[in-house]
Amino acid sequence: MSTAGERGELSRERLVWMYEQMLRIREFEERVKRTFEEQPGVMRGHTHLADGAEASIVGSIATLGPSDQFLTTYRCHGYPLVRGTDPKAMMAEIYGRRDGLCKGIGGSMHLTDVATGFMGTSGIVAAGIPHATGVAWAAQIRKQGQVVLCFFGDGASKQGAFFESLNIASLWKLPIVFVMENNGYNVHTRTEQEDANRANGEDLSVKAKAFSMPGVTIDGRDPIAVYETVGAAVDRARADDGPTLVESQMYRLSAHGNIIAPPGVPLHFPEHEAIEKFGAPEEYEAAKRGDPVPAFRGRLVGDGTLSAEEADRVAESVRREMQEAVSFALDSPFPEVETALEYVYA
């Protein structure tokens, strides 16, 4: 397979790498999901999975240069894995252990890895959009050609923080790309129930028009399409031509999140909301058939980029890596309780 965007062709090695990264996200999160379901209480609070978003995450992060930066939402496991953060430290964080990426204080929703340019996550919908905008302002002042990727969901695009930030980003021509991952649902509400553009049959990227910036909608299940579109937007930002809004369409293949709630509390959907709430299993099954991870494998194997045996070897190696991450997390002790007070103030 070859692709000839403005950023040049993706090499065979790069395409295989992209597949491997998609698989790493899936296998990492499968272990998170299984622990949540099979060993309640081991992981605490709330965890949000990115299954269905892997292609979009990999295609986006793959466009970044070494000194570029990014900020995400609480659905944040995928990006750092692709960027090179150690899955052991990530898993230990989700287990609340001492060797966790954020020393067990952040947890699943607040992964941060400044060393790789992952500047932080907000658990509040849309609250991270102005943060990313501020990081982009800093990049503009510093004048070292850095670009910032800002990830958020379709639900965030109805928050004031979204409108305020995109207005300023366009006004100031900041080096930032706004990647809206539209997975069709805002928590348990369908996009057409809460978005005026969608309700009127328009793509959500039309919102960009309000800020006089380019807006484009793409199939977020295709990592190459994402890579080319986000890549073009990154190039544009780096050339000081300002921000772009990319709507990356996908389907979330798990429920909104795993919530440990007492029986009877109507928060925890073990199955996707399409099944549990809207009685539309056919919608979910169709989305499942479009699962980007096996789809990309099929594509690479189909056009001879990767043999089935090589693909199996990649999968086996990824599974081993993620199993080691779980073992590492289980072996890591809990933090000393006093560390709860250690990072309140700098």
Partner 1 sequence: MAHELPYIAAVDEAIRLEMERDETVLYFGQNMATTENEPYVDAFGKDRVRVTPISETAEIGIAIGAALAGYRPVVELYMAEFMLVAMDQVINEAPRFRAMSGGQVKVPLVLKAGYGFTAGWAGQHTGTISSLFMGVPGLKVVVPSTAADAKGLMATAIRDDNPVVYLHNYLLTLEHGEVPDGEYLVPFGEAAVRREGGDVTIVATGWTVDRALEAATRLAADGIEAEVIDPRTLAPLDTQTILESVERTGHLVVVDQATRHASAASVIAAEVAEHGFSSLKAPIVLVTALDATMPYSEPLEQFVLPSEDKIVAAVRQVLGTAPVTA
Nearer to partner 1 by Cβ, of 168 and 206: the residue is 168
Q: How far is the CB of 98 from partner 1 (least distance, A)?
A: 10
Who contacts 271 (Cβ-Cβ below 8 Å, separation ≥6)? 255, 284
Q: How far is the CB of 5 from partner 1 (least distance, A)?
A: 29
Q: How far is the CB of 130 from partner 1 (least distance, A)?
A: 2
Nearer to partner 1 by Cβ, of 10 and 90: the residue is 90
Nearer to partner 1 by Cβ, of 107 and 220: the residue is 107
Nearer to partner 1 by Cβ, of 13 and 345: the residue is 345
Q: What is the DSSP string of 4-42?
A: -BTTBPPPHHHHHHHHHHHHHHHHHHHHHHHHHHHSTTS
7: closest CA among 245, 295, 239? 239
Q: How far is the CB of 75 from partner 1 (least distance, A)?
A: 15
Which residue ranges make up the site for partner 1 (CB under 8 A)?
A: 69, 71, 100-106, 110, 112-114, 119-122, 124, 127, 129-142, 160-161, 164-165, 167-168, 171-172, 342-346
322: closest CA among 103, 24, 65, 42? 24
Q: How far is the CB of 190 from partner 1 (least distance, A)?
A: 25
Q: CA-based Rg of the chain, rounded to a whole angstrom?
A: 20
DSSP 10: P
Maximal C-alpha separation, the chain: 56
Q: How far is the CB of 141 from partner 1 (least distance, A)?
A: 5
Nearer to partner 1 by Cβ, of 52 and 117: the residue is 117
Nearer to partner 1 by Cβ, of 334 and 343: the residue is 343
Handedness of CA 4, 5, 6, 10 (dihedral sign): negative
DSSP 31: H
In Å, how far are 75, 89, 191, 295, 316 from 338, measured between CA atoms? Answer: 28, 20, 44, 47, 40
Q: What is the DSSP string of 58-74?
A: HHHHTT--TT-EEEE-S
Nearer to partner 1 by Cβ, of 105 and 295: the residue is 105
Q: How far is the CB of 329 from partner 1 (least distance, A)?
A: 15
- For residues 229 and 216, is the Cβ–Cβ distance under 8 A? yes
- For residues 224 and 260, is the Cβ–Cβ distance under 8 A? no
